[in-house]
Amino acid sequence: MAGNQRMAALSLMAAEYGASRDEVLALPISDGSFIASCVPSHERIEPAVDIASSESYAGPVISYQYELACYGSEITVLVHGAIKGRGDEMERIIAVQFESELLPAFTQGMLAHGNVTVNGGALLFGNVHSNSNVSVKIDAESVSNITAVGEAPVIGEGYENVTSSSGAEEKDVPLVSEFFDSSNVYNKVAGEDFVILDASDSSCDFLGSGDMGGKTYFCNGELTVSGSFNNVTLFANGNIDHNGASNLSDQQSVDVAMFSTGSIAFNGKNDAYGVFWADGDITQNGSSVIGGSMISGGAMTLNGGFTFISNSDISVEVVPSQVVRDSWQEVVST
């Protein structure tokens, strides 16, 4: 009896060990294909990994093995923990379920590899991080955590909901150019939902109005944007300049995205809610409200009165995400 209990405990430990390993995230689930189809393989897709063996080890063999499976529409990996020895063997199974979440950079709020500088007052409802320095005069009504690898502003009395830290750890700033390469953007064929703008002179114009139907527009050059619109994604292999007063999306539905391998500039008074991601600088000229997520591989310079409202409830499907463990539990035979 005691032997069976020990074997049961060890086989469960083997399954839990396999479920906790980072290699479970490297299985075919991570490319999205299995999540989309959720068709179980019914095969052990990895050789059994022996976690208790050496030349001098004479005890039972303890191992784990992975299998893809589905519970309804949920993506699942079954981890088979097994123990074999002295003619006996036992297996216990843990089901690991997953979910997709945005990369951390897109839930940070304002993230820049270079300096973040606000020339004028700033009302912040969201976090700010720079891998360099942050210089900003903050409104006392702000709610924000400001961090910088270099120097962050000193916060005086009267700022109950603002914290500031210098000497913070550097944060990863993903690159639009790498995203375009991995997503094969340059070789995509034009269609109803992917519109290639005319870039015959290495520049494009985009005039948006109202609901743009969730389409993606690509400019293989410099992109000039105008108009008030929502529900659209703009890709540019170059700078993006947004000119004139406008309203982009709203605080409740962050459904506009601008991705630039160059820099992004807002010129004029704007209320813009979306994901604004540039390999270069992000510059705002004029009093504006910007909400959602701002990611800059260069510096952020905000001129004039500025309000930032962080919102990670992003409905833009193309924003990079990752597969993470959601939960796991033992599968009990009935």
Q: Where are the domains of the chain?
A: 2-103+321-331, 104-310
- 237/215 Cα distance (integer angstroms): 17
| Six-digit token string for 229 | 């619109």
Geometric angle at alpha carbon 172, from 166 and 176, rounded to 5°: 130
pLDDT at 54: 37
Q: How many CB atoms lie within 10 A of CB 172?
A: 10
pLDDT at 87: 64
For residue 230, give every residue at least 6 positions away whose Cβ sits within 8 Å of its Cβ, in sequence order, or none: 210, 211, 212, 248, 249, 250, 253, 255, 256
Which residue do the tokens 């940070």 mark?
108
Predicted structure pTM score: 0.77
- 151/143 Cα distance (integer angstroms): 19
* Residue 246: φ, ψ to 5°: -160, 170
pLDDT at 323: 72
- 275/109 Cα distance (integer angstroms): 10
pLDDT at 30: 47
* Residue 328: φ, ψ to 5°: -145, 155
143 near 161, Cβ under 8 Å? yes
What distance lies between CA 65 and its chain's CA centroid?
Answer: 29
Per-residue pLDDT 10s for the chain (334 aa) are 456 787 888 888 888 888 888 777 766 654 444 444 444 444 444 555 555 543 333 456 788 887 776 555 556 777 888 887 666 778 888 888 777 777 888 888 999 999 999 887 889 999 999 999 999 888 889 999 999 999 998 787 778 899 999 999 999 999 999 999 989 999 999 999 999 999 988 999 999 999 999 999 999 999 999 988 889 999 999 999 998 656 776 656 688 999 999 999 988 777 888 899 999 999 988 778 888 899 999 999 988 778 899 887 777 778 887 777 777 788 876 4
